[in-house]
Amino acid sequence: MLIAATLAIFVAMILAIIRGIAGPTLYDRILAVNMFGTKTVLLISLLGFVMGRPEFLDIALVYALINFISVIGVLRYSDTNQFKHMPTEDKSIRKEP
């Protein structure tokens, strides 16, 4: 059963990578990275149980943490010109940041 779950997670990771490479807009790619991160967390925990070494769970926790911080970092710096001027409400289509 564990092996089946690991294979499923692998398939999900490959799908995420396809979207990551193909994704037209930047935010599709951030979404792919986010999904890829959560899938790696699951993969590591499952590997921990498949290989019978439960120490792996610390690494799974760090993965989730790092994934969270890098996605926040990407979003924080992707809308770069947010600080140029006060963000008005009716934000029309943004030109190249």
Partner 1 sequence: MLIGLFNDWIVVVLMMIGLYIVIAHGNLIKKLIGLTIFQTSVFIFYISMAKIDGGTAPILADGITQYSNPLPHVLILTAIVVGIATTALGLSLVVRIKESYNSIEEEEIQQQDNDEQLSTNKAEENA
Partner 2 sequence: MIDIVLLSLLVVIAIAIIRMKDLFAVVMLTGIYGLLSASFFVAMDAVDVAFTEAAVGAGISTLLMLVVITMTGRKEKSTRHKPLSALFVVMLTGGLLIYGTLDMPYFGSADAPIHKHTSPRYINDSMEEIGIPNIVTSVLASYRAFDTFGEVVVIFTAGIGVLTLLCVARSQKNDEEIDSINDSMHQQHLVIRIVAKMLIPFIFLFALYVQFHGDFGPGGGFQAGVIFASAIILYAMLFGLSTARKVINQTFVQVIAALGVLLYGSVGIVSLMNGGNFLDYNVLSSNPIAGQHLGILLIEWGVGCTVASVMVVIFFNFAGRRAFQQHKKQAQDKESSAC
Partner 3 sequence: MDIIITICSGFLLLVGSFLCISGGIGLLRFPDFYTRMHAVGVTDTLGAGMILVGLMMLSTDFLVFAKLVMVLLFTLLIGPTTSHVLAKAAFHNGVRPKDSNNLEQSKEKENTSSIL
Residues that bind partner 1 (CB under 8 A): 51-53, 55
Of partner 2, partner 1, partner 3, none, which one does residue 3 interact with (CB within 5 to 8 Å by kind)?
none
Q: What letter would DSSP give residue 24?
A: S
Which positions touch partner 3 (CB under 8 A)? 1-2, 4-5, 7-9, 11-12, 14-16, 18-19, 24-28, 30-32, 34-35, 38-39, 41-42, 45-46, 49, 54, 57-58, 60-61, 64-65, 67-68, 71-72, 75, 78-79, 82, 87, 91-94, 96-97
What count of other Cβ atoms lies within 10 Å of the Cβ of residue 44? 19
**Minimum gap (Å) between residue 51 Cβ and partner 1:** 6
d(CA 8, CA 43): 9
Give CA–CA dist 46/7, Å, rounded: 10
CB 42 within 8 A of CB 57: no
Q: Of all helices (H) and strands (E), which one includes residue 91?
A: none
Question: Which of the choices partner 1, partner 2, partner 3, none does residue 73 contact, using the CB cut-off of 5 to 8 A by kind?
Answer: partner 2
